[in-house]
A and B are shown apart, each in its own frame.
Chain A
């Protein structure tokens, strides 16, 4: 990863009426990152993204992009940003091509037929370029949202919940497009989501925010490694199995979740040995499922 800072946010604040939507937020996105911006609904993700895109004025704080203050360099900065803010909306009565042509013309760069078709091709819409957007499914509109963000070949992509409302297949397609944009085309990407798994599968760095404040920020794998995995064990007689495991592990690391479920603080690698020991003791083990404690952490703290 390059150490060049692409986005620098410091002490960012925004209040709507009596509600503090963003409260002293700090974070940095480096060149080459897929930076996960995670938080529950209403955490302040969209407000922050809108401030980065100058759709909303911050009450206070600093936003530097490409090391330039946003306020004084809006035009220069937005020329090199492609954005998808929440659900993408288009001129429904126009074709996908015409929409991209209009948005390309406003991008501050030369965008011709080749660039438009490249963007449509990368998002799998090249065969529907002439169709009016009103005939598109939700998933196709989401992909067209990505196409309009990349049509002018920006260095930085800001994607606000791009997988929102998509079915599992659509989410997978979207994930593949985003990873390809990062790995093959070298785009730096800030991606917001309220789904930890999505971020975990794509991002190298991430921040979790809640109520407009930072909860945790760091390298995704370091955060996941630091947060040890728990194992949820579905078993025939959980109470008896608990007695056995309390002897083998630290007492506080194992607890009864329900009549047939135990939770044990242990890594995924320990699962086979635990399974063997329980089966050898005469228990019927129905399943052992790793629980990401970062997910638990996210749920507990947001």
Chain B
């Protein structure tokens, strides 16, 4: 199994297109960091205008943590798309290119093959999230320094610097889980078709449709909303509530894990029965 996983990772990282996601993140984060470096102080002053009369603000609020929080808010729209590139291509891409049949004439079981491909897709997702963390948290902290984090959610909260890093680590941890749900869905679609465009478009169509349903405040959607994974994808922000709501966080984690388990099991079941005709 280890050998199969190594082979799959080798395949993923020897392909140039696997780096599109990393390149996209690098470009976007750099552009946003540059913009914040140019105009971040003005932006922050605008936000803080009303507060300056009531509070005495000390220290550097335009710091790496603030930039990272802003970046996370902005980039979670893009991340699912980047994740599907590899997961959606994982099996369908090989079916399309014809290499699937050459692999499956080897004695490794189909289950082992699927598990190895799935693990490689999830590892890619993890690396993408870690790369974002490194750029947004690491590089931003180097450029802008560190300090207290000011967060605007239902209320304004200022987290002391000592509390910020653990919250970011938990938030990125959850973000990885949320992206794993998207990767698992793309992987499932990848077992159903013989070209990688289908799974990518299919996954994005579902993510966008479900996100619309999640955000439309209609009573008709109330029943299904709690079952949709998109309802929980932004739950990383829960780690920036003043009091951590562990019940809500646990529910979000369980729902995401449930989706991962269902999508993967279905992918395994389908692939085990699939006739390889390409």
**Among A56, A78, A81, A89, which residue has its beta carbon within 8 angstroms of that of B99?**
A89
A88-B105 CB under 8 A given contacts A57-B273, A57-B275, A102-B7: no
Chain A residue nearest to B15 (CB atoms) is: A93
A201: Cβ under 8 A from any B Cβ: no
Chain B residues contacting A79 (CB-CB under 8 Å) are 107
**Among B4, B11, B15, B104, which residue has its beta carbon within 8 angstroms of that of A55?**
B104
Q: Is A107's CB under 8 angstroms from B275's CB?
A: no
Interface residues of A in 71-112 (CB under 8 A from B): 74-79, 81, 83, 85-94, 102-103, 105-108
Interface residues of A in 17-59 (CB under 8 A from B): 50, 53-57
Q: Is A108's CB under 8 angstroms from B277's CB?
A: no
Known: A54-B104, A57-B275. 5 other contacts (CB 8 A): A75-B108, A90-B99, A106-B4, A106-B106, A108-B108
A142: Cβ under 8 A from any B Cβ: no
Chain B residues contacting A93 (CB-CB under 8 Å) are 14-16
Interface residues of B in 257-278 (CB under 8 A from A): 273, 275-277
Can you list 9 A-B contacts with CB-CB less than 8 angstroms, sorted by A residue number? A50-B101, A56-B275, A75-B107, A85-B102, A93-B14, A94-B14, A102-B10, A106-B103, A106-B106
C-alpha gap A148/B106 in the complex (Å): 11
B154: Cβ under 8 A from any A Cβ: no
CB distance from A41 to the nearest CB of B (A): 15
Chain A residue nearest to B102 (CB atoms) is: A89
Question: What number of A-B contacts does a CB cutoff of 8 Å give?
Answer: 74
Chain B residues contacting A50 (CB-CB under 8 Å) are 101, 275-277
Q: Is B102's CB under 8 angstroms from A53's CB?
A: no
CB distance from A109 to the nearest CB of B (A): 9
Contact surface of B with A, Cβ cutoff 8 Å? 3-4, 7, 10-11, 14-16, 97-99, 101-109, 273, 275-277
Chain A residues contacting B98 (CB-CB under 8 Å) are 86-89
C-alpha gap A54/B273 in the complex (Å): 11
Most chain B CB inside 10 Å of its own CB: which residue of A76, A87, A106, A107: A106
Chain A residue nearest to B104 (CB atoms) is: A55
C-alpha gap A34/B73 in the complex (Å): 65
Contact surface of A with B, Cβ cutoff 8 Å? 50, 53-57, 74-79, 81, 83, 85-94, 102-103, 105-108, 148
Chain A residues contacting B273 (CB-CB under 8 Å) are 57
Q: Is B106's CB under 8 angstroms from A89's CB?
A: no
Q: Is B275's CB under 8 angstroms from A55's CB?
A: yes
Chain B residues contacting A57 (CB-CB under 8 Å) are 273, 275
Q: Is B109's CB under 8 angstroms from A89's CB?
A: no
CB distance from A119 to the nearest CB of B (A): 14
C-alpha gap A105/B15 in the complex (Å): 20
Chain A residue nearest to B108 (CB atoms) is: A106
Chain B residues contacting A107 (CB-CB under 8 Å) are 106-107
C-alpha gap A54/B10 in the complex (Å): 26
C-alpha gap A139/B16 in the complex (Å): 27
Chain B residues contacting A92 (CB-CB under 8 Å) are 97
Chain B residues contacting A102 (CB-CB under 8 Å) are 7, 10-11
Q: Is A74's CB under 8 angstroms from B107's CB?
A: yes
